[in-house]
């Protein structure tokens, strides 16, 4: 999960731009798109630096947020997804993740069956619901 709302807005804006294969996206174009999005959504008018967008792209490419975005640079200037069908919002969970989530749900159910404190029980119920949601939509 991104550290803050502004970072999430930038990631989603970069994602939307790179999914648009009808435009060749330069770093300056991505900076402008992110600056416009932040102004439209949050009223932030100060703009974004190139370095911030470069850091965002590196973060999206990495495993830190689980995106593993296949962002490539072509013609030494333009950015795009190597996989035209990729989107950070469509990242599916892997088979191993699916199995781990199923195991987590089973463990939670066992804890509930053994009786836990009310506070822990509420927390486990929320975690279980979230895991089931991930499995349903993942």
The string of pLDDT tens digits covering residues 31-60 is 999 999 999 998 989 889 999 999 999 999
Across the range 78-99, mean pLDDT stands at 81
6-23 per-position pLDDT tens digit: 999 999 999 999 999 999
Q: Please report which residue ranges of 77-117 form alpha helices under DSSP H.
A: 95-113
pTM of the model: 0.66
State how far Cα 24 lies from the chain centre: 23
Task: Give the whole-number percent of the chain exceeding pLDDT 70.
Answer: 75
Buried b (16+ CB within 10 A) or exposed e, 33-55: bbbebbeeeeeeeeebeeebbee
Q: Where are the beta strands (DSSP E) in 18-133?
A: 71-74, 78-81
Q: Which residue has the higher pLDDT, 109 or 29?
A: 29
Confidence of residue 126 (pLDDT cuts 50, 70, 90): confident
């Amino acid at each position: 999960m991104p550290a803050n709302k502004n970072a999430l807005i930038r990631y989603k804006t970069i994602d939307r731009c790179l999914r648009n294969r009808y435009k060749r996206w330069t770093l300056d174009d991505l900076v402008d798109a992110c600056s416009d999005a932040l102004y439209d959504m949050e009223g932030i008018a100060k703009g974004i630096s190139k370095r911030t967008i470069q850091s965002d792209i590196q973060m999206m490419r990495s495993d830190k947020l689980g995106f593993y975005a296949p962002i490539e640079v072509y013609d030494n200037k333009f950015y795009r997804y190597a996989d035209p069908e990729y989107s950070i919002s469509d990242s599916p969970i892997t088979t191993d993740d699916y199995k781990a989530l199923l195991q987590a749900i089973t463990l939670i159910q066992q804890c509930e069956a053994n009786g836990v404190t009310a506070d822990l029980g509420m927390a486990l119920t929320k975690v279980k619901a979230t895991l089931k949601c991930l499995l349903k939509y993942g």
